[in-house]
Amino acid sequence: MTLAELSLTGDLARPARLTVPDLLRWPQHRVRVAFECSTSGTQYHRFAGPRLYDVLSDAGPGFDPVRRKDRLRFLIAVTGSDGHHALLSWAEIDPDFAHAPVLLAVSIDDAALDRAGPQLVLPQDRCGARHISGISAIRVDGGYDWRQPVPATPGPGAVAAS
C-alpha cells in the first residue's frame, strides 16, 4: 500500500515529510463537525488526528525570541493534492492567542486516511471552505519584512489617478 505524504517546509528548524502513521505519534483529538454546504446541505463528520499546532511546534518554527510576539507575523499555507489551498495565521492555532482546535485528521468517520493523506479540519469554520483533503504540503512563513511596507499596485481594471 502506498502511503500519502505531506511535506512541512518554510521557516522551520526541522522540515519533514510525514505520513498518516507518522501523525499518530502526537496526541490524538476527536471532533464532530457540521459543514453547512450551500449545494449539498449540512454534512456531518467525525475526525481524529493531532492538532496542527502540536505538529508545527515540533518542527521548530523560526520565531525570533528577542522580538515581542514574533509569532504573530507567521502564516501557514496548506495545499491539497487536488490543488485546493488554505491560509491560516499562527495566531489562530497558538494557545496564547485564538487557540483554534485545527486538526490534521488521520481518520474521517472512523476510516483511516493512510492512502488519501491527512485532512485539514477547522471545526470553527461553518461552511468548511478551508477544509483540505489529501494534504500534500504545509509551509510556515514568517519571511515578509514588516518594517518595509510594500506599495500597493493597482489590480486589473483599476483606474489610474490623475
The per-residue pLDDT for range 131-150, each reduced to its tens digit, is: 999 999 999 999 866 566 66
Q: What radius of gyration do the chain's Cα atoms show?
A: 18
Residue-wise over 118-130: b if at least 16 C-beta within 10 A, else e? bbbbbbebeebeb
Alpha-carbon distance 92 to 101, whole Å? Answer: 9
24-31 mean pLDDT: 97
Q: What percent of the chain has pLDDT over 90?
A: 75
Alpha-carbon distance 30 to 36, whole Å? Answer: 19
According to the model, what pLDDT value does residue 48 have?
98
DSSP character at residue 80: E
User: Does the pLDDT value for residue 152 go beyond 60?
Assistant: yes
Q: What is the pTM of this model?
A: 0.86
Computed over every residue of the chain, the mean pLDDT equals 90
- The total of other beta-carbon atoms located within 10 Å of residue 91's CB is 17
According to the model, what pLDDT value does residue 148 have?
66
Residue 103 in contact with residue 121, Cβ under 8 Å? yes
Residue 130 in contact with residue 77, Cβ under 8 Å? no
Alpha-carbon distance 146 to 104, whole Å? Answer: 29
